[in-house]
Amino acid sequence: MSVPLTLLGLLEREPSHGYDLKRDYDAFFGRGKPLPFGQVYSTLSRLARDGKVVISDVAPGAGPDRKRYIITDVGATEVEQWLTQPVDPEPHLQTVLFAKVVLALMLDRPAAEYLDTQRSAHLHRMRELTEIKRAGSLVDALLADHGLYHLEADLRWIEMTGARLDALRKEVRQ
Amino acid sequence: MSVVIEARDVEFSFGQTPALRGASVAVEAGEILAVMGPSGSGKSTLLHCLAGILVPDSGEILFDGARVHAMAETERSSLRRDRFGFVFQFGQLVPELTAVENVALPLLLSGVHRKQALPRARAWFARLGLDGLEQRRSGELSGGQAQRVALARGLVAEPQVLFADEPTGALDSLTGEQVMDLLVGAAREQGTTVILVTHEPRIAAYADREVMVRDGRVNAPDRVAS
């Protein structure tokens, strides 16, 4: 899971204080592993240094931090690129895919298209592994099968998520 | 490569229920195309329209420059017999015939004499690992053996296009992959174009390219750079 990109995505939804960002991150993406405050502020500092966010004003927030962060065009472009690029099809990437889908729905982006792009990238990798299997030894086939079954599991998740997008959209945009 | 078969903006309904709503797809000669999609998406209907089994309500089906959608049934029937091959999921073999007669069937129906047709059919048995099963009837074959016989029958007349609708759907994973391996190997050797309908990603991975059918429309993803 990319914490900087996820925070940027949350900021694209609306300008926020560090405290609110941490609360939303923990609610949607933390899954029992809350983001430490220190990491939130160090990440926001780096994003500000790199011109991806700016501090707009000092206003009352829900917590002690009074700085409100706004995403810049540079930051928004980075979020856009991250969401539209498929993730390298490797096993155990479900947390990244999960974050992308939830953020895309929050930001009213075309989540179904991202899933289609990811499906295509997965199938491309599966074709490569299938070719290795057809041309190689039994040991090669065994290794390729391991990759193929994991990618297939991701694809099943992609199909199931695609079928649930409308319901998910309602839930994350409540 | 040139396009050999194509659907252009095809619409088809079963009664009041639309199955295809402007489906378009073009397949190049020698290409192996996987048509994927959830149940009820219209992928089998698209295959049946491309193969001239169903006639679209509107839109065009073009094969090798010919307007399939405008052909009379007898003309489409000849096309299916002489230029196309078929492999389906279930119940394809004629139970009264032996395995080798089943394989020879498309040749016999095309008017090839039995004396020429049976040796051509027999040659496929060694090729697909079916040696010794020539005289068996479908009830005496395992699922994988029966499907390989069906595959031989689909390819024996050297069709330009092989239509395969869930050809491994009734088989276990390993047997299914063996059948796909043989299908792809034989099709490439003959230069046969294959249109493969499947909902299984591991089977689609044997194809050169995939398209998704959703709600009766075809979504062809951008090709991922190698």
Report pLDDT digits (tens) over B137-174. 989 999 889 999 999 999 999 999 999 999 888 788 88
Please state the φ and ψ torsions of residue A103, each to the nearest 5 degrees: -65, -40
Note whether B6 contacts A: Cβ–Cβ < 8 A.
Answer: no
- Taking the C-alpha atoms of residue A46 and residue A31, their distance in angstroms, rounded to an integer, is 24
Which of these, A80, A76, A148, A78, lies nearest to A113 by C-alpha position?
A80
Choose from A57-61, A112-116, B102-106 the range with maximum mean pLDDT: B102-106
Find the CATH number of the domain harbouring B17. Answer: 3.40.50.300
Note whether B221 contacts A: Cβ–Cβ < 8 A.
Answer: yes
- pLDDT over 90 at A73, yes or no: yes
Contact B184 A134 (CB under 8 A): yes
Q: How far is the alpha carbon of A123 from chain B, nearest alpha carbon, in Å?
A: 6
Q: Let me know: does B196 contact B167? Beta carbons within 8 Å.
A: yes
Domain presence at residue B226: no
pLDDT score, position B52: 95
Number of domains in chain B: 1
Q: How far is the alpha carbon of A72 from chain B, nearest alpha carbon, in Å?
A: 30
pLDDT score, position B226: 38
pLDDT score, position A1: 61
Contact B201 A155 (CB under 8 A): yes
Contact A123 B201 (CB under 8 A): yes
Question: Which residues are within 8 A (CB) of A140 and not within 5 positions of it... i.e. 6 or more apart?
Answer: A132, A133
Domain presence at residue B54: yes
Which of these, B168, B170, B160, B221, lies nearest to B193 by C-alpha position?
B160
Contacts with A152 from chain B: Cβ below 8 Å: 201-202
Please state the φ and ψ torsions of residue B27, each to the nearest 5 degrees: -120, 130
- pLDDT over 80 at B129, yes or no: yes
Note whether A120 contacts B: Cβ–Cβ < 8 A.
Answer: yes
pLDDT score, position A61: 56
- pLDDT over 80 at B22, yes or no: yes
- pLDDT over 50 at B224, yes or no: no
Instruction: Using CB atoms within 10 Å of the CB of residue B177, give its burial: 0 to 12 exposed, 13 to 18 middle, 19+ buried.
Output: buried
Alpha helices, DSSP H, located in B33-94? 43-50, 73-82
Note whether B219 contacts A: Cβ–Cβ < 8 A.
Answer: yes
The average confidence (pLDDT) of chain A is 87
Contact B202 A148 (CB under 8 A): yes
pLDDT digits (tens, 9 = 90+) for B72-91: 999 999 999 999 999 988 76
Q: Report the DSSP beta bridge partners of residue A16.
A: A69
pLDDT score, position A85: 87
Helix, strand, or coil (residue B129): coil
Q: What percent of chain A has pLDDT over 90?
A: 45
- Taking the C-alpha atoms of residue B185 and residue A126, their distance in angstroms, rounded to an integer, is 18
Contact map slice: B 34-63 vs A, CB within 8 A: 38
Note whether B207 contacts A: Cβ–Cβ < 8 A.
Answer: yes
Contact B205 A121 (CB under 8 A): no
Contact A163 B38 (CB under 8 A): yes
pLDDT score, position A64: 59
Q: What percent of chain B has pLDDT over 90?
A: 75
Helix, strand, or coil (residue A77): helix
Note whether B204 contacts A: Cβ–Cβ < 8 A.
Answer: yes
Assessment of whether the complete model's pTM goes beyond 0.95:
no
- pLDDT over 90 at B9, yes or no: yes
Contact A119 B221 (CB under 8 A): yes
Q: What is the mean pLDDT of residues B179-203?
A: 92
- Taking the C-alpha atoms of residue B55 and residue B68, their distance in angstroms, rounded to an integer, is 8
pLDDT score, position B223: 46
Domain range holding B141? 3-219
Domain presence at residue B85: yes
Contact A126 B202 (CB under 8 A): yes
DSSP character for A85? S
Q: What is the mean pLDDT of residues A16-43?
A: 89
Helix, strand, or coil (residue A128): helix
Domain presence at residue B19: yes
pLDDT digits (tens, 9 = 90+) for A96-121: 888 889 999 999 999 988 898 899 99
Contact map slice: A 49-78 vs B, CB within 8 A: none
pLDDT score, position A92: 62
Domain presence at residue B225: no
Domain presence at residue B224: no
